[in-house]
Amino acid sequence: MFTIINVIVLLLIILFLQYLNKKHVKFSNRVFIALILGIILGLVLQLIYGATSEEITNTVAWYNIIGTGYVKLLQMVAMPLVFISILSAFTKLKLGNNLGKIAGLILLILVGTTAISAGVGITSASIFNLNASELVQGDAEKERGASLEEKSAEVTTLPEQIIELLPANPFLDLTGARSTSTIAVVIFAAFLGFSYLRVVRKDEETSKTIKKLIESIYSLVMGVVTIVLRLTPFGILAIMARTVATSDFAAIYNLGKFVLASYVALIVVFFIHLLIISLSGLSPIMYIKKSAETLLFAFTSRSSAGTLPLNLKTQIDRFGVPDGIANFAGSFGLSIGQNGCAGVYPAMLAVMIAPTVGINPLNPSFILTVIFVVAISSFGVAGVGGGATFAAIIVLSALDLPIALAGVLISVEPLIDMGRTALNVSGSMVAGITTSRVTGELNKETYQNPVLKELGEA
């Protein structure tokens, strides 16, 4: 009975959001309203039932139909969007001979900012004097630690990770079956793009037919993306209600210093993103204004892959980044050089855990080693999947630090992961914008235009 009531309340809020849509309330305002209402609904549910109650468990299962369902729809369109957008960029001759330079710049920015993020994470952990030996481990934390140690056996070497990026079976990768599928699809699409350029030189009539086909498929895929994006307010409402309703506030309080140190580091790195934008001769205020909705969704969904369609639409429609560069930056940013998951987080863990084995975390050689390992290992995350958890396993294993101690943070993982995911997405957008600016392909007029093109509109 209580579950039915809770579901009805959610449906009534959805009807209210739909009413706002009919009244032509701006898409961005509806997204923000959905976020606030989701937080309120989650708090009310937790106050009435308790985070671990059967009522909450049953309610969340129904809420997931909308919340998790929305993320899955975004993931559904992500791979076709990446594939056809890269191909489309070749037909518009926006990549051509600059492909190597573009890919190199994007990777340099992603990995470089990850190294900087590691330094920020180390600094924050040191300032807050974080020490893993002071944390209390309960049964859940010990089980989590044992699970992490088992997963460490799955970690492979960097050369093997790089080989995993290559598309041995592109049709398998188009299904998203592997953790490196997105990058593999980018590589496959690039090969097809170069093949198209060869056809242009040898058979102009055939190339026109191919171009028309690609443009038709691109229009079709973008239509699906637009339909899915219009569901964003409903998805954010359900995701936020679920997250708040199931949050363990007692654990968050007990590990408050780590949560605070994490968010201080994440915010500092975000300001570094704004500094990079400024050094590129662009307005950081405009960046915040135009990326807010996408970063907000990344924050609530905790899914970089799910955020990819919004990421690409934001770069292309709001920032004036060419399709090809936006797709390279967005796709690479899913699994290489993640500033939050592969930069800040594992560096902070290394500093926290080092004292437990008698290592001085402030030793300059240790700090430099951590930064170097984090930067190199940010490539390795793509090969094993699992985001921040595997990034931590890779780094801690390379530094010969006990992996199990990372399990003590299991109760606050969701809260920290929200900020990490938003920072990952911001890093990929900054890479796309900066690369476009350096190569002279950024449409500065679009970037500076204060009028926001709605992400949920065609």
CA contacts within 13 A on the Cβ side of 164: 22
**CA-to-CA distance for 397 and 224, rounded, in angstroms?**
42
Q: What is the pLDDT of residue 426?
A: 96
Identify the pLDDT of residue 383.
42
Determine the Cα–Cα distance for residues 147 and 136; give it in Å rounded to an integer.
18
- Report the alpha-carbon distance of residue 406 to residue 142 in Å, rounded: 10
Residue 437 three-state SS? helix
How big is the CA angle at 282 (ends 336 and 97), to the nearest 5 degrees? 55
Please report which helix (H) or strand (E) contains residue 258, including its range: helix 256-279
Helical pair 181-202 and 54-91, crossing angle rounded to 10 deg = 20
Q: Regarding predicted confidence, which is higher, 146 or 334?
A: 334
Give dist(CA 142, CA 140) in Å, integer.
Answer: 6
pLDDT score of 385: 43
Q: Is the pLDDT of residue 423 over 70?
A: yes
Both tokens of 27, joined, read: 């898409």
- Examine the pLDDT at 407 and tell me if it is beyond 70: no
Q: Count CA within 13 A, CB hemisphere, residue 205.
A: 0
Whether the Cβ atoms of residue 289 and residue 55 lie closer than 8 Å to each other: no
Confidence tier at 411 by pLDDT (50, 70, 90): low
| Tokens standing for residue 71 | 């993320």
Percent of the chain with pLDDT over 90: 37
Task: Categorize the per-residue pLDDT at 456 as very low, low, confident or very high, splitting at 50, 70 and 90.
Answer: low
Nearest alpha carbon to residue 419 among 179, 258, 232: 258
Is 424 within 8 Å of 340 (Cβ atoms)?
yes
Query: Is residue 437 left, alpha or beta, with left meaning phi > 0 and alpha meaning psi from -120 to 50?
Result: alpha
pLDDT bracket for residue 446 (50, 70, 90) = very high
Q: Quote the tokens at residue 398.
A: 């390379």
pLDDT at 147: 61
Q: Is the pLDDT of residue 372 over 80?
A: yes
Q: How many angstroms from the chain centroid is the CA of residue 19?
A: 31
pLDDT at 410: 65
Per-residue b or e along 363-394, where b marks 16 or more CB atoms closer than 10 Å to that residue's CB: eeebbeebbebbbbbbbbbbbbeebbbbbbbb
Q: How many CB atoms are closer than 10 A to CB 19? A: 10
What gap in Å lies between CA 186 and CA 167, rounded to an integer? Answer: 9
Distance CA 137, CA 143 (A): 10
- How many C-beta neighbours within 10 Å does residue 26 have? 13
In 3-state terms the chain splits into helix, strand, coil percentages (rounded to 5) of: 80, 0, 20
Element at 397 (helix H, strand E)? helix 388-398
Other Cβ atoms within 10 Å of 404 Cβ, number: 19
Q: What is the pLDDT of residues 167-194, one digit of tens each?
A: 888 888 888 777 678 788 888 988 998 8
Q: Which residues, in sequence order, are CB contacts of 318 under 8 Å at separation 6+? A: 290, 291, 446, 447, 452, 453, 455
pLDDT category at 4 given cuts 50, 70, 90 is: very high
Q: Lowest-confidence range among 2-11, 29-38, 115-124, 143-152?
A: 143-152
pLDDT over threshold 70, residue 157: no
How big is the chain by its Cα radius of gyration, in Å?
22
88-97, 186-195, 272-281, 351-360: range with lowest mean pLDDT: 88-97
As a whole number of angstroms, the distance between CA 263 and CA 24 comes to: 35
Amino acid 457: pLDDT: 57
How far is Cα 70 from Cα 235, in angstroms, rounded to an integer? 5
- Report pLDDT for 162: 74
More confident residue, 38 or 146: 38
Non-local (6+) Cβ contacts of 358 within 8 A are none
Task: Outline where 128-231 has alpha helix (H).
Answer: 139-151, 158-164, 170-173, 181-202, 204-229
Band of the pLDDT at 206, cuts 50, 70, 90? very high
Alpha carbon 85 to its chain's center: 19
Whether residue 268 has pLDDT greater than 70 = yes
DSSP 8-state class, residue 96: G
Q: Which helix (H) or strand (E) holds 290?
A: helix 284-301
Cβ pair 111, 377 in contact under 8 A: no
CATH number for the region 2-448 comes to 1.10.3860.10
CA 143 to chain centre: 27
CA 189 to each of CA 305, 330, 436: distance values in angstroms, whole numbers, following the listed order? 18, 15, 20
pTM for the complete prediction?
A: 0.81
What pLDDT band is residue 384 in, cutting at 50, 70 and 90?
A: very low
- Any residues with CB less than 8 A from the CB of 278 and at least 6 apart, and which? 284
Retrieve residue 448's tokens: 């500076």
Summarised one tens digit per residue, pLDDT across range 90-108 is 887 565 567 788 888 999 9
